[in-house]
Amino acid sequence: MQRVPWYPIMVLVAGSCFGLISPLLKIAYAHGFSAAEATDAQYVLGVIPLWLIVPFWRQGKRRIARGQWPILVLSGLAGAGTSYTYYSAILFLPASLAIVLLFQFTWMVMVIDIVVTRRLPSRAKWVGGGLIVIGTILAVGIIGHKLSHFPVWTVGFGLLSGLCYAISLYLYSYLDIETSPVLQSAVIVTVATLAAFIPFPPTFIGQIHEVHGFWLWGFIMAFFSQIAPPILMMVAVPRVGGRMAGVLGSIELPVAVVSARLILGEQEDMLGWIGVLLIVTGIIVSEWRTRQESGFLPPGEIPGEIKEA
């Protein structure tokens, strides 16, 4: 089988985009955004450009098969669930703790895949996953946090954000690789936008002038969360598999740590950098072994053939 290394790289880039959201979100809050405004802004300013791009995107079919609609709708709901639970939790939890709770998606994706496929991961996946979990604990300083100090619901929301993210990542692996990725992204983000309006009604429309930098920071957040990552994921995840996407997606944390240092000036201790190194090592271990064993799908192959053991 022909190996196509661009697909895992695309997942890494998508994860890196998500890694930039935490520092960007802090900047948005500093400019007067509320959690509701930040959520609604990124979805509204994300879905409009996607639909504008759809007519000009030539790659892939422009018609969605009937069987794909449930996957797209569930993906959109899971995406909205991730944003709502994470943005709500980060208002009451330390950013580092909120991130580590979200990052439980790395093992949640693996569990979902085991339940669905009834196949255990390879030894390399266990080793890589273990390194990622240990690295995550070190990178965010979770050892110094006591969960009992925070409301139970906030911790629950943090874990739920990880579960929602894991579900969305895994669902992407079942998308039709022959359908336009931009069209699929537009549908998913549209569903997510409508779902986000339930807990966060779009009252910001009449208050845009009161939020400094609404259009600028709203579009920047939209690009790095709702425009670039979904398109990359639509193309790559059906070819690398949901389990592998969960591993590659963990690049989000190292990017979040580095960007927080560069953008916000936050300091990181030696244990934090060791954690980042362990996460990257875990990704390399899992990714290298997978490529050695099976490679990745060239365009047009059946998604079901890429599920790694």
> How sure is the predictor about 151, in pLDDT bands with cuts at 50, 70 and 90?
confident
Residue 77 has pLDDT above 80, yes or no: yes
Summarize pLDDT for 228-242 with one digit per residue, the tens. Answer: 998 998 888 888 877
- The set of long-range contacts for 114-119, using a CB threshold of 8 Å and a minimum separation of 24, is 116/170, 117/307, 119/307, 119/309
Report, as an integer, the average pLDDT of 274-289.
Answer: 75
C-alpha 161/C-alpha 247 separation (Å) is 17
Residue from 35, 105, 99 nearest 257 by CA: 99
Report, as an integer, the average pLDDT of 45-65.
Answer: 90
Please report whether residue 42 resides in a domain.
yes
Please report whether residue 302 resides in a domain.
no
Please report whether residue 273 resides in a domain.
yes
Summarize pLDDT for 7-38 with one digit per residue, the tens. Answer: 888 988 998 998 888 788 878 888 778 878 88
Please report whether residue 308 resides in a domain.
no
**pLDDT on residue 295:** 46
Return the sign of the alpha-carbon dihedral for residues 124, 125, 128, 130. negative
Owning domain of residue 95: 6-297
C-alpha 203/C-alpha 150 separation (Å) is 29
The average confidence (pLDDT) of the chain is 80
Decide: pTM greater than 0.75: yes
- Dmax over CA atoms of the chain, in Å, equals 56
Report, as an integer, the average pLDDT of 166-188.
Answer: 91
**What are the backbone dihedrals phi and psi of residue 145, each rounded to the nearest 5 degrees, phi first?**
-100, 145
**pLDDT on residue 195:** 94
Q: What is the dihedral of CA 144, 138, 8, 172, to 10 degrees?
A: -20
> How many structural domains comprise the chain?
1
**pLDDT on residue 291:** 52
Summarize pLDDT for 252-280 with one digit per residue, the tens. Answer: 878 877 887 788 776 667 777 787 788 77
Please report whether residue 275 resides in a domain.
yes
**pLDDT on residue 140:** 63
Residue 99 has pLDDT above 90, yes or no: no
Summarize pLDDT for 107-130 with one digit per residue, the tens. Answer: 888 889 889 988 887 777 788 878
Report, as an integer, the average pLDDT of 48-54.
Answer: 94
Please report whether residue 103 resides in a domain.
yes
Please report whether residue 184 resides in a domain.
yes
Please report whether residue 269 resides in a domain.
yes
